[in-house]
Chain A
Amino acid sequence: NAGVIQTPRHKVTGKGQEATLWCEPISGHSAVFWYRQTIVQGLEFLTYFRNQAPIDDSGMPKERFSAQMPNQSHSTLKIQSTQPQDSAVYLCASSLGTGGAETLYFGSGTRLTVL
């Protein structure tokens, strides 16, 4: 079991460019979460999918951020027109998805730097 796989590990974009981050959950897990981590804000919840359906995106900035889960083996987080304040480590996590709070398994994260 390779664990949750996130690619790329590092991404540098210029202000105004688009960034797409990828996540492959653990095989058999049907819940996928995206978090953002910064020194100032700590770990912030962004969005949650269960069985590929979006369940809660209350943490997503309403503009420029979107997430999808087109199949059970990957999810993407897309940031349009990136801004310096989007610089952060973006973490993806998965769990079994049987409902309620479950053991969460995180990927190694993608460090996004917006110049």
Chain B
Amino acid sequence: GDKVKQSPSALSLQEGTNSALRCNFSIAATTVQWFLQNPRGSLMNLFYLVPGTKENGRLKSAFDSKESYSTLHIRDAQLEDSGTYFCAAASGSWQLIFGSGTQLTVMP
């Protein structure tokens, strides 16, 4: 099965609303990274996490290594937040395992 499972696979939001994306891990993840791939294809790093939480503007991410999951919260969604969000986990080494992504569409 998937070592890094993302949910939901797709999501539509009204501008100004909030949402949460989730990754569940079947590996002993030690670090997690979240990326946003914009419609042009560029993958931008949003967060690098050890167990704990981080916040950057309207984005907040948490990683619980004991319960094997990570979340990405989007507050006050804007049109430019649209794209595909990927999480990726490492298990004590350099190798990242990517989830299959959440395709987010923010509608006006």
Contacts and interface: CB of A to CB of B under 8 A. Distances in A.
A91 B31 contact: no
B100 A101 contact: no
Interface in A54-111: 55-56, 89, 91, 93, 99-109, 111
A4 to B, nearest CB: 10
Q: Specify which of B31, B41, B45, B90 lies most central, judged by the most chain A CB atoms within 10 Å of its CB.
A: B41
B45 A100 contact: no
Interface residues of B, number: 22
Contact of A108 (B40, B88, B94): B40
Looking at chain B's contact residues, is the secondary structure mostly helix, strand, loop, or mixed?
A: strand
B56 interface: no
A12 interface: no
Nearest to A43: B98
Contacts of A99: 94
Contacts of B35: 104, 106
B4 to A, nearest CB: 10
Contacts of A56: 95
A108 B41 contact: yes
B94 A31 contact: yes
A103 B95 contact: no
Interface of B: 30-31, 33, 35, 40-45, 48, 86, 88, 90, 92-96, 98, 100-101
Interface of A: 31, 42-43, 45, 48, 55-56, 89, 91, 93, 99-109, 111
